[in-house]
Amino acid sequence: MSVPARPQVQKLATLTGHRDCVYTLSGAPNETTFYSAGADGLVASWNVLEPEADGTLVAKVEKSVYALRYLPGRQLLVLGHNYEGVQVIDLHNRQLAHATALPPLAIFDLAYSEEAQRLFVALADGTLAVLRAADFSLEKLLRLADKSLRCLALHPTRPELAMGSSDATVRVLDVHTLDALHTLPHATNSVFTVAYSPDGRYLLAAGRDAHLRRYDAAAGYALADTLVAHMFTINHLTFSPDGRYLATCSMDKSIKLWEADTLRLLRVVDRARHAGHGTSVNKLFWSGQQNRLVSCSDDRSLAVWELTWADS
The whole-number pLDDT of residue 184 equals: 97
Cα separation, 41 vs 30, in Å, equals 27
Give 5's pLDDT tier (boundaries 50, 70, 90): confident
Give 2's pLDDT tier (boundaries 50, 70, 90): low
Q: Dump pLDDT digits (tens) for 29-73.
A: 999 999 999 999 999 999 999 998 999 999 999 999 999 999 999
The whole-number pLDDT of residue 56 equals: 96
Over residues 5-27, the mean pLDDT reads 95
Cα separation, 107 vs 110, in Å, equals 8
Give 4's pLDDT tier (boundaries 50, 70, 90): low
Give 312's pLDDT tier (boundaries 50, 70, 90): very low
Q: Dump pLDDT digits (tens) for 228-265.
A: 999 999 999 999 999 999 999 999 999 999 999 999 99
What is the rounded radius of gyration, in angstroms, for the C-alpha atoms of the chain?
18
Cα separation, 118 vs 32, in Å, equals 26
The whole-number pLDDT of residue 3 equals: 56
pLDDT at 158 over 70: yes
The whole-number pLDDT of residue 309 equals: 81
Residues in a beta bridge with 79: 68, 87
Q: Which helix (H) or strand (E) is 271 found in, with range?
A: helix 271-274
pLDDT at 311 over 60: no
CB of 212 closer than 8 Å to CB of 229:
yes
Cα separation, 223 vs 228, in Å, equals 15
Q: Which of 268, 279, 280 is nearest to 305 (CA)?
A: 268
Q: What percent of the chain has pLDDT over 90?
A: 94
The whole-number pLDDT of residue 1 equals: 45
DSSP 178: -
CB of 12 closer than 8 Å to CB of 51:
yes
CB of 311 closer than 8 Å to CB of 287:
no
Long-range contacts of 178-183 (CB under 8 A, 24+ apart): 178/128, 178/130, 178/140, 178/142, 182/220, 182/221
Over residues 77-86, the mean pLDDT reads 98
CB of 49 closer than 8 Å to CB of 294:
no
Burial label, 215 (beta-carbon count in 10 A; 0-12, 13-18, 19+): buried
Cα separation, 88 vs 97, in Å, equals 6
CB of 126 closer than 8 Å to CB of 144:
yes
CATH code that applies to domain 7-309: 2.130.10.10
Cα separation, 311 vs 309, in Å, equals 6
| Average pLDDT of the chain, as a whole number | 96
